[in-house]
Amino acid sequence: MSEFAVEVRGLRKAYGPVVAVGGIDLAVRRGEVFALIGPNGAGKTTTLEILEGHRRADAGNVRVLDEDPAQNAVSLKRRIGIVLQSTSIQPYLTVEETIEQFRGYYPAPRLLDELIDIVGLEASRKTLVRRLSGGQQRRLDVAMGLAGDPELLFLDEPTTGFDPAARRGAWEMIRNLKALGKTVLLTTHYMDEAQALADTVSIIRDGLIVAEGTPDELRAGEAETVISFRFAGALADLPPAIATAGSLENGRAVLRTTDPTTDLHELTGWAKQRGEALEGLSVTPASLEDVYLGLAGDVAE
Amino acid sequence: MSARMALRQVGYENRSFWRNPAAAFFTVLLPLIFLVLFNSIFGDSELTIDGRNLDGSTFYVPGIAALAVVSACYTNIGMMVTIARDLGILKRVRGTPMPPWAYIFGRLAHAVLVSLLLVAIVTGVGAAAYGTDVPGNTLPGLALTLVLGALAFCALGLALTAIIPNADAAPAITNATILPLLFISNVFIPLQDPPEWLAFVGDVFPVKHFAAALQTAFHPDTTGAGFEWGDLAVIAAWGVAGTALALRFFSWEPRR
């Protein structure tokens, strides 16, 4: 058994003249949460659908749980769970009936009560699918994907369109899946989502992987720390290091620096001398968002 | 395992169907409304169709039974499966270990069961309200005609989904393909002396043969078991063609 739940080498897929995936490698370790992040049209869904067996690759070597998904084998379908990009559930069954229906498709399904508990739909067990909110339908979608107690779960943009509270709920759910020992391969637009959930992040753009690593590794590549504070004066009033390298943004003085210790020392010395309060002072490491925008940002969403 | 999945699927289709008031209304009530309307207007007239004399209600009960089967199978499958396809429900199912045939079986078996229920209701209402004969000696012919017809129209409905580009177009295309046929096939209007070309067009398609075979089964003068082998052969041929087209062109992926 390979240590990887998913192994992809040189995967290519074109639709006519349009290259959706231009030759990518992926390696998803068993038990990890792996996030494939990129803008719309970057090739995320195409990649996922090839791994799920919904599409055929033009070229490349694809292994999912040591099987070739292109074979469309029942043995593989029993071991994976799929949550597609758009939620698609029969509207006239209840939550319970829908999960029961999908449990019936698998030889060793997870218990109904456990599934309802994992996705937090206890209060809506007897509700018709059509009466659920969008977020609730999405959670039911995940329960359907988990019905067969899969080793590997594909989640295509699980939280797109969620309000912030619903997203936090979904994140909690995905963390629970990891705690259950599942491998999760998800796609997302949101860097904070990848940062919050993923052990490994792969940034895809125009069908190519442009960066990959743990969230910390990716951040380390972008070594800058951002120092900022509220400031109403002119740039020239600031200490020399900030006046030359910094900028004023929305009433804040902002400095991106690779040497935060020295710059902070100079800044606080200057502030103490002048009696400046440095209101709203913040010192933050480069976020994954900055890395992401640097790599994928010039692509129009 | 697969057989059990297929049978359970019939149950889920059945539950979904009856919980959707619009679908249930059009499929179940519309034929009954037509039955009452046509019988009220034309029920007492004496008709001669293809050299056979019959009264209005003996024409309309099997005619509306044919309509019920066509709408439960062809119209319903054509529309609902296309909608399910474009919602991504078919794709969702395709990602599970359930064999594709089990899903299709669930859809078809449900449609056939609804057809049989509707024919029973139409026959009952016809007997109670309009004094039409309930088939006795022709029961074998009636049963074979119904099952063969229902399956053939299901297959044609599945084949139709392949040429429907998206869910929005489903009702229009489904009705456009079937309504004209219902008018030239002795279902709504008795064709007592149709123009030759109209009779010919009707003869090419399966609806007229289906209605004719049912009319034989419901006619009080029919002797024997009521098998209209010529009509059944045409229906079966269309069923085989529909199956072949569906197998070749049916799509599980949404077409957006």
Mean pLDDT confidence for A166-170: 85
Residue A241 exposure: Cα atoms within 13 Å on the Cβ side: 17
Length of chain A: 301
CA distance A90 to chain B (A): 7
Q: Which tens digits make up the pLDDT trace of B182-241?
A: 999 999 988 888 899 999 999 999 999 999 999 999 998 888 888 999 999 999 999 999
Cα–Cα distance, A136 to A131 (Å, whole number): 9
Q: Is A271 left (phi over 0), alpha (psi -120 to 50) or beta?
A: alpha
- Tokens matching residue A208: 């190519």
- A109-118, A259-268, B164-173: which has the minimum mean pLDDT? A259-268
Q: Which of B8, B15, B89 sits opposite A88 (nearest CB)?
A: B89
Phi, psi of A106 (to 5 degrees): -120, 150
Cα–Cα distance, B28 to A87 (Å, whole number): 30
Q: What percent of chain A has pLDDT over 70?
A: 94
**Nearest in space to A109 (alpha carbons), one of A76, A150, A53, A137:** A150
Cα–Cα distance, A295 to A290 (Å, whole number): 9
**In chain A, which residues touch B (CB < 8 A)?**
52-54, 74, 77-78, 82, 84, 86-93, 97, 101-102, 104-107, 128, 144, 148
pLDDT band at B149 (very low <50, low <70, confident <90, very high): very high
Cα–Cα distance, B124 to B94 (Å, whole number): 40
Mean pLDDT confidence for B143-157: 97
Q: What is the pTM of this model?
A: 0.84
CA distance A126 to chain B (A): 14
| Contact (CB, 8 A) for B202 and B212 | no
Cα–Cα distance, B197 to B193 (Å, whole number): 11
Mean pLDDT confidence for B142-163: 97
A 10 A CB-CB count for A145 gives 25
Evaluated on CA atoms A241, A243, A244, A250, the torsion sign reads positive
- Tokens matching residue B218: 């419901």
- pLDDT reported for residue B168: 93
List C-alpha distances in Å: B157 to B9, B108, B151, B237: 19, 10, 10, 15
- pLDDT reported for residue B121: 95
Question: Which of B9, B14, B92 is best to mutate for the A interface (most A CBs within 10 A)?
Answer: B92
- pLDDT reported for residue B224: 86
Cα–Cα distance, B234 to B209 (Å, whole number): 7
List C-alpha distances in Å: A265 to A229, A230, A242, A261: 15, 18, 12, 6
- pLDDT reported for residue A295: 67
A15 DSSP β-pair partners: A18
**Strand A4-15 relative to strand A183-188: parallel, antiparallel, unpaired?**
unpaired
Q: In the predicted model, is pLDDT for residue B93 greater than 70?
A: yes
Q: Cα angle vertex B153, ends B147, B157, to 5°? A: 140
Q: Is the CB of residue B21 less than 8 Å away from at least one CB of chain A? A: no
- Cβ neighbors of B78 (< 8 A, separation 6 or more) are B157, B158, B160, B161, B164, B170, B173, B174, B177
Q: List CB contacts (< 8 A) between B96 and chain A.
A: 77, 102, 105-106, 148
Q: In the predicted model, is pLDDT for residue A288 greater than 80?
A: no
Cα–Cα distance, B12 to B172 (Å, whole number): 27
Mean pLDDT across chain A, nearest whole number?
Answer: 89
pLDDT band at B119 (very low <50, low <70, confident <90, very high): very high
3-state secondary structure of B99: coil
Find the closest chain B residue to A148 by CA distance: B96
Mean pLDDT confidence for B165-174: 94
Of residues A233 and B93, which shows the higher confidence score?
B93
A 10 A CB-CB count for B127 gives 14
Mean pLDDT confidence for B46-64: 87
- Tokens matching residue A211: 């960066």
- Which of A186-200, B50-64, B226-240 holds the top average pLDDT? B226-240
- pLDDT reported for residue B213: 95
List C-alpha distances in Å: A288 to A238, A291, B23: 29, 5, 50
Range A62-79 burial, b when 16+ CB lie within 10 A, else e: bbbbebebeeeeeebbbb
Phi, psi of B55 (to 5 degrees): -90, 170
For tokens 């019920």, the residue is: B68
- pLDDT reported for residue A223: 62
**Strand A183-188 relative to strand A33-37: parallel, antiparallel, unpaired?**
parallel
- pLDDT reported for residue B69: 96
Q: In the predicted model, is pLDDT for residue B256 greater than 70?
A: no
Q: List CB contacts (< 8 A) between B16 and chain A.
A: 90-93
- pLDDT reported for residue A190: 85
Q: Which of A88, A93, A148 sits opposite B12 (nearest CB)?
A: A93
- pLDDT reported for residue A126: 97
Mean pLDDT across chain B, nearest whole number?
Answer: 92
Q: In the predicted model, is pLDDT for residue A299 greater than 50?
A: no
Mean pLDDT confidence for A218-228: 75
**Nearest in space to B83 (alpha carbons), one of B183, B180, B161:** B161
Q: In the predicted model, is pLDDT for residue A277 greater than 90?
A: no
- pLDDT reported for residue A222: 62
Q: What percent of chain B has pLDDT over 70?
A: 100
- pLDDT reported for residue B167: 92
Question: Which of A54, A88, A89, A185 is best to mutate for the B interface (most B CBs within 10 A)?
Answer: A88
For residue A67, what is the DSSP state? Answer: B
List C-alpha distances in Å: A216 to A222, A255, A261, B101: 10, 21, 20, 48
- pLDDT reported for residue A1: 78
Q: In the predicted model, is pLDDT for residue B83 greater than 90?
A: yes
Q: What percent of chain A has pLDDT over 90?
A: 55
Of residues A153 and A282, which shows the higher confidence score?
A153
- Tokens matching residue A130: 């059509």
Where would I find the H helices in A53-111?
74-77, 95-103
Of residues B210 and A253, which shows the higher confidence score?
B210
Q: In the predicted model, is pLDDT for residue A297 greater than 70?
A: no
CA distance A208 to chain B (A): 25
Instruction: Tell if the CB–CB gap between B15 and A102 is shorter than 8 Å.
Output: no
- pLDDT reported for residue A221: 65
Range B57-84 burial, b when 16+ CB lie within 10 A, else e: bbbbbbbbbbbbbbbbbbbbbbbbbbbb
- A104-108, A255-259, B3-7, B173-177: which has the minimum mean pLDDT? A255-259
pLDDT band at A300 (very low <50, low <70, confident <90, very high): very low
Mean pLDDT confidence for A207-233: 83
What's CA B203's distance to the chain center, in Å?
A: 17
Phi, psi of A131 (to 5 degrees): -95, 0
| Contact (CB, 8 A) for B90 and B162 | no
| Contact (CB, 8 A) for B27 and B80 | no
Q: Is B118 left (phi over 0), alpha (psi -120 to 50) or beta?
A: alpha
Q: In the predicted model, is pLDDT for residue A202 greater than 90?
A: yes
Q: Which tens digits make up the pLDDT trace of A124-151?
A: 999 999 999 988 999 999 999 999 999 9
- pLDDT reported for residue A266: 87
Q: Cα angle vertex B70, ends B176, B74, to 5°? A: 65
- pLDDT reported for residue A122: 93
Q: Which of B12, B94, B97 sits opposite A101 (nearest CB)?
A: B12
**Strand B52-55 relative to strand A252-257: parallel, antiparallel, unpaired?**
unpaired
pLDDT band at A301 (very low <50, low <70, confident <90, very high): very low
